[in-house]
């Protein structure tokens, strides 16, 4: 959530670089945007609403110039979305401008003290204390870097902060529990809350750590730690290009990323399967011993992946639990002996998940991150990292990252608890075929027809058992995220313990039924329960059972291994959510109130 961009060394096109960078960060979720440019003076332009309103405001006034600048897209926390609350924020004289991601926890006492000193605030935000603090230290005679550092010493909380000062040709930035990246170009340098902010200009990046302070000017960048000592940083070249973050002819990023899943899974499996031997080998996991127990911590879609992982670990004979990361970090410490805590996080920057992992580390427990963020905080701080390799995902509603997480968790379980060689060989074969199976689903899906015949209903329920239960939860989450319609996911056997009271002929039920084991047969019994109450039934099935005879609609998937079938079922439910949202005219890639990367607790 929220986006930061900054650039130095571009000259007359600085403003265009900032605006284009903000546009690439729109996927993070925001409700206002603004820029600050430094030339002969400091000029700030900001507007509530979408980036188009900021562009319009700039084009209808004197176009600001500058040789360096910072920009921001804000997702409201302190104060509603208004022009005044939009970033950048300035001091009273307009000498200092600041953009900020995160939350300043002690902003109220700081604000009270500043107001007592005669400072007038113009916004409701926590961020505005920062430029006023910097200005006060400048007034005391400190140089801009020292004033910036002193201001950081006064604030508590999570932040990625970038500041500029009129008459000074540098950008000052720092991070603490919120991501910030430096882009290294040829005589041009950048800042971003995420790599896409400047990917059009350079693929060489420096990932900052908590406590780092960076000064960027036309001559380069310098990083120091919290004590002011020089910090050695490695320049990393990201492997994906700016073209990969475009829509490639699709109407929405989400649809593009749904269709990218065969490629994403091939990337995630590449070099990790020995098809001749029928074994799994993941280099990143070579130093981990088989744990006595596993705890998985995650949020949102990643939590559903964690629930799926729990099922796999338990099948392999390893006790496992999944925790919502926010509850793990703030509740009583769960007991874990001879075990490992696995953080499942798409970005590797999810604040609640990072807190949970740090709590585990404080208790001396080994940690592992399952993430898409190679240079992310989770990947750097955990003892181990397993990268899902799904490539950039721009749509707020996760699609290919979820599928890639499910595959990564299969690889993790097979590495830590290898099963019977025959079973593993069968799974490896299914994993090898999975990208092609997903392509078959994409080519032959009836999701759009199902949507056309069920639009306008009162609510939508999703049910499943075993590995299919997390898929039911994820199907409901994806549906509600982008359609804004009421949807709920349930363990199929729980319907009769309360939710059945909500079932009517106006509540379609999506039943995920794969295989023909006891779980499938019991789920069919639950389907009969809702059918008897005239609820429309949509079966997502591989055809191994006879659930089709009780269904009004069927979304078919190829027959496969029980552990890969949920991945295919999930693709069908992603398409259902997408087509329903598209029919309703929703803003699919940027659903209201949501952000791609949740970097506050």
Instruction: Return the biggest CA–CA distance within the chain.
Output: 80
Burial class (CB in 10 A: 0-12, 13-18, 19+), 429: middle
Active site annotation includes 596? yes
Q: What are 219's two structure tokens?
A: 């001559």
CB atoms within 10 A of CB 436: 12
**Catalytically annotated residue among 400, 480, 590, 596:** 596
Distance (Å, rounded) from C-alpha 285 to C-alpha 507? 45
Burial of residue 149 (number of CB atoms within 10 Å: 0-12, 13-18, 19+): buried
Q: Identify the three-state secondary structure at position 269.
A: helix
Dist. CA 319–CA 39, nearest whole Å: 61
299: annotated active-site residue: no
In whole angstroms, give the CA distance from residue 364 to residue 520: 41
Q: Which long-range contacts (CB under 8 A, 24 or more apart) does 112-117 make?
A: none
DSSP string of 4-64, one letter each residue = EEEEES-GGGHHHHHHHHHHHTGGG--SEEEEEEESSSEEEEEEES-HHHHHHHHHTSPPP
DSSP bridge pairs for 369:
343, 385
The neighbouring-strand residues paired with 586 are: none
Virtual torsion, Cα 349, 353, 354, 356, nearest 10 deg: 180
* Neighbour-count burial of 231, counting CB atoms closer than 10 A to its CB (0-12 exposed, 13-18 middle, 19+ buried): middle
Name the 3-class secondary structure at 240. Answer: coil
| Alpha-helical segments (H) within 155-198 | none
DSSP 230: B
Specify the 3-state DSSP secondary structure of 112.
helix
Q: Looking at 2, 7, 299, 382, which residue is catalytic? A: 2
**Both tokens assigned to 494:** 């729980």
d(CA 466, CA 566): 10
The structure tokens 């005044």 sit at 84
Question: What is the CA 407 to chain-centroid distance, rounded?
Answer: 18
Contacts of 49 (CB under 8 A, 6+ apart): 31, 32, 33, 81
Whether the CB-CB separation of 393 and 401 falls below 8 Å is answered with yes
State phi, psi for 466 to the nearest 5 degrees: 60, -130
Per the listing, tokens 């098809």 go with: 275
Residue 114 and residue 214: Cα distance in Å, rounded? Answer: 26
- Dist CA 390 CA 402 (whole Å): 9
CA–CA separation, 465 and 514 (whole Å): 10
The terminus-to-terminus CA distance of the chain in angstroms comes to 11
Catalytic residues: 2, 596
């Amino acid at each position: 959530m929220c986006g930061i961009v900054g650039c130095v060394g571009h000259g007359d096109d600085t403003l265009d670089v900032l605006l284009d960078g903000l546009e690439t960060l729109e996927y993070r979720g925001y409700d206002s945007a603004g820029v600050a440019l430094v030339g002969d003076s400091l000029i700030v332009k900001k507007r509530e609403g979408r980036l188009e309103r900021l562009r319009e405001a700039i084009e209808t006034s004197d176009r600001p110039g500058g040789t360096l600048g910072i920009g921001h897209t804000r997702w409201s926390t302190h104060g509603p979305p208004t022009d005044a609350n939009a970033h950048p924020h300035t001091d009273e004289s307009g000498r200092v401008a600041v953009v900020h991601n995160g939350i300043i926890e002690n902003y109220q006492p700081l604000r009270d003290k500043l107001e007592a000193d005669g400072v007038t605030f113009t916004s409701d935000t926590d961020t505005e204390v920062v430029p006023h603090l910097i200005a006060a230290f400048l007034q005391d005679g400190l140089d801009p870097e020292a004033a910036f550092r002193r201001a950081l010493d006064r604030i508590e909380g999570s932040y990625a902060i970038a500041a500029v000062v009129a008459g000074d040709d540098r950008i000052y930035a720092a991070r603490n529990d919120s991501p910030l990246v430096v882009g290294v170009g040829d005589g041009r340098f950048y800042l971003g809350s995420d790599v896409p902010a400047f990917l059009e200009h350079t693929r060489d990046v420096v990932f900052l750590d908590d406590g780092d302070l960076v000064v960027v000017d036309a001559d380069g960048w310098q990083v120091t730690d919290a004590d002011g000592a020089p910090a050695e940083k490695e320049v990393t070249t990201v492997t994906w290009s700016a073209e990969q973050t475009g829509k490639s002819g699709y109407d929405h990023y989400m649809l593009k990323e749904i269709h990218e899943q065969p490629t994403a899974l091939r990337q995630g499996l590449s070099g990790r399967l020995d098809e001749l031997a029928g074994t799994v080998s993941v280099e990143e996991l070579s130093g981990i011993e088989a744990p006595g127990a596993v705890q998985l911590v995650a949020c949102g879609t990643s939590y559903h992946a964690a629930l799926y992982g729990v099922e796999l670990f338990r099948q392999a004979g390893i006790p496992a639990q999944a925790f919502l990361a926010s509850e793990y970090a703030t509740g009583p410490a769960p007991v874990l002996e001879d075990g490992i805590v696995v953080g499942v996080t798409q970005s590797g920057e999810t604040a609640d998940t990072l807190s949970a992992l740090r709590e585990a580390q404080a208790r001396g427990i080994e940690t592992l991150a399952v993430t898409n963020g190679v240079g992310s905080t989770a990947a750097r701080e955990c003892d181990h990292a397993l990268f899902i390799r799904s490539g950039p995902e721009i749509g707020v509603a996760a699609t290919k990252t979820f599928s890639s997480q499910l595959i990564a968790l299969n690889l993790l379980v097979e590495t830590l608890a290898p099963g019977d060689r025959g079973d593993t060989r069968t799974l490896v074969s299914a994993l090898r075929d999975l990208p092609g199976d997903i392509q078959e689903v994409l080519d032959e899906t009836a999701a759009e027809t199902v949507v056309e015949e069920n639009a306008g209903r009162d609510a939508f329920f999703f049910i499943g058992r075993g590995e299919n239960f997390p898929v039911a939860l994820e199907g409901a989450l994806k549906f509600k995220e982008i359609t804004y319609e009421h949807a709920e996911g349930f363990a199929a056997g729980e319907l009769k313990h309360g939710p059945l009271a909500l079932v009517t002929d106006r509540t379609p039920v999506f039943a995920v039924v794969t295989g023909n084991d006891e779980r499938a047969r019991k789920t069919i019994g639950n389907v009969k329960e809702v059918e008897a109450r005239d609820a429309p039934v949509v079966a997502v099935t591989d055809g191994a059972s006879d659930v089709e005879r009780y269904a009004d609609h069927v979304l078919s998937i190829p027959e496969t291994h029980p552990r890969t079938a949920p991945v295919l079922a999930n693709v069908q439910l992603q398409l259902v959510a997408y087509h329903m949202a598209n029919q309703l005219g929703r803003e699919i890639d940027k659903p209201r109130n949501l952000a791609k990367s949740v970097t506050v607790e």
